[in-house]
């Protein structure tokens, strides 16, 4: 079964062709990140306009790359939530019109479920159940992936997402936008104990996370130094911050994994590209005797392949939408469409 998959929830427009949920025939991505850089963050209206400009060209490009015709498309999958509402709407309306004109099913896909499926493409042996840490610019969740389409949130951030925290701190450190990658690179070789930063414990909710206190502590540290005219050692600061974020995520994920006892742990989302988090997860999984699944860096960020993969499993579970499909800025990952 060949699925044409569409992703437009933030600043990446992506169209992919995926066969039977695991084989990527083509994945074409256009990013508008360069346009947003001067504003220090994504400007939703600009992102939406960029999606409109490129989406149909990307679909043609994907078909050409895969060497198939429109007639060979069996279904269309699309991110319908969560995301920037105007941006998601562009993909949803494009997908609706393609599905309607080809007379094929339309499959709604939750964006974070899509991120989880990135590992199905990277690791042919991976099957649920497993515990998955989902960390991106908009989300930080620990999810019990019970089956391909049954999910339960075990822990969630109470405030900011990990990626948002990386981006804000990188911006005040002068590392540009989006800052997760540059901050990660700046941390290489730095002393992760140079600065004492807070670790959070939420009473009665050991798997919930919080990044706002860490963000405030970092901002105070940086602003105090600026007011005194002092220069902080960038790589030590980046390393200490990365260690604090990882300490928020990795022990909780492992705690959840021990509770569930699946012996399989996965990590997904843009922040899954972080070298410190990857290293800490590797060490923790080795210690606990768990198998760890991480996507390659190109599948950590938003892409169409992951939507095509998850779309296949949603289709098998009966996930279908009509031309009345709407987009949602927020939606619980555990809800089936």
Which residue in this structure is represented by tokens 């508008």? 32
CB of 62 to ligand KG4, least distance (A): 19
> How many residues contact ligand KG4, by CB under 6 A?
19
Of the pair 145, 271, the CB lying nearest ligand KG4 is at 271
CB of 284 to ligand KG4, least distance (A): 18
Q: Which of 21, 91, 138, 311 binds ligand KG4 (CB under 6 A)?
A: 138
Residues 259-298 that bind ligand KG4 (CB under 6 A): 269-271, 273-274
Q: Which of 114, 128, 163, 295 binds ligand KG4 (CB under 6 A)?
A: 163
Q: Phi then psi for 76, rounded to 5 degrees?
A: -120, 125
Q: Return the bridge partners of 268, or none.
A: 134
Residues 177-216 that bind ligand KG4 (CB under 6 A): 178-181, 184
Contacts of 220 (CB under 8 A, 6+ apart): none
- Does 108 help bind ligand KG4 (rule: CB under 6 A)? no
Of the pair 75, 301, the CB lying nearest ligand KG4 is at 301
Strands 12-19 and 2-7: antiparallel
Of the pair 75, 155, the CB lying nearest ligand KG4 is at 155
Which residue in this structure is represented by tokens 């089936």? 336
Q: d(Cα 322, Cα 107) in Å, to the nearest integer?
A: 9
Instruction: Report the C-alpha dihedral over residues 272, 278, 284, 290, rounded to 10 degrees.
Output: 70
Which residue in this structure is represented by tokens 């400007």? 43
13 half-sphere exposure, CB direction, 13 A CA radius: 26
Among the listed ranges 40-48, 131-139, 227-235, 308-316, the one in contact with ligand KG4 (CB under 6 A) is: 131-139
Of the pair 264, 278, the CB lying nearest ligand KG4 is at 278
DSSP code for 177: S
With vertex at residue 197, the alpha carbon angle to CA 196 and CA 201, rounded to the nearest 5 degrees, is 130
Q: Which residues bind ligand KG4 (CB under 6 A)?
A: 10, 136-138, 163, 166-167, 178-181, 184, 269-271, 273-274, 301-302
């Amino acid at each position: 079964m060949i699925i044409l998959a569409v992703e437009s929830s933030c600043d990446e427009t992506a169209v992919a062709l995926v066969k039977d949920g695991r084989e990527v025939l083509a994945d074409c991505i256009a990013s508008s990140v360069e346009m947003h850089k001067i504003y220090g963050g994504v400007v939703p209206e600009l992102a939406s306009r960029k999606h409109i400009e490129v989406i149909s060209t990307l679909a043609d490009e994907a078909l050409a790359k895969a060497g198939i015709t429109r007639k060979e498309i069996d279904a269309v999958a699309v991110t319908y939530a969560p995301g920037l509402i105007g941006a998601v709407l562009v993909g949803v309306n494009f997908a609706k019109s393609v599905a309607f004109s080809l007379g094929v099913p339309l499959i709604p896909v939750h964006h974070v479920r899509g991120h989880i499926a990135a590992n199905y493409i990277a690791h042919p042996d991976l099957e649920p159940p497993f515990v998955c840490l989902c960390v991106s610019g908009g989300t930080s969740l620990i999810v019990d992936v019970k089956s391909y389409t049954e999910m339960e949130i075990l822990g969630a951030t109470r405030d900011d997402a990990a990626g948002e925290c990386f981006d804000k701190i990188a911006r005040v450190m002068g590392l540009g936008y989006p800052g997760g990658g540059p901050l990660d690179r700046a941390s290489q070789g730095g002393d992760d104990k140079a600065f004492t930063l807070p670790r959070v414990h939420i009473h009665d909710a050991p798997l919930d996370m919080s990044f706002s206190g860490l963000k405030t502590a970092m901002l105070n540290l940086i602003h105090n130094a600026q007011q005194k005219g002092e220069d902080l050692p960038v790589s030590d600061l980046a390393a200490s911050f990365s260690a604090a974020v990882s300490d928020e995520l990795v022990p909780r994920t492992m705690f959840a994994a021990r509770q569930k006892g699946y012996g399989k742990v996965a990590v997904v989302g843009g922040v899954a590209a972080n070298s410190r988090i990857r290293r800490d997860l590797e060490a923790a999984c080795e210690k606990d005797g768990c198998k760890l699944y991480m996507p390659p860096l190109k599948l950590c960020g938003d892409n169409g392949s992951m939507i095509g993969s998850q779309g296949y499993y949603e289709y098998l579970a009966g996930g279908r939408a009509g031309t009345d499909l709407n987009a949602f800025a927020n939606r619980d990952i555990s809800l089936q469409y």
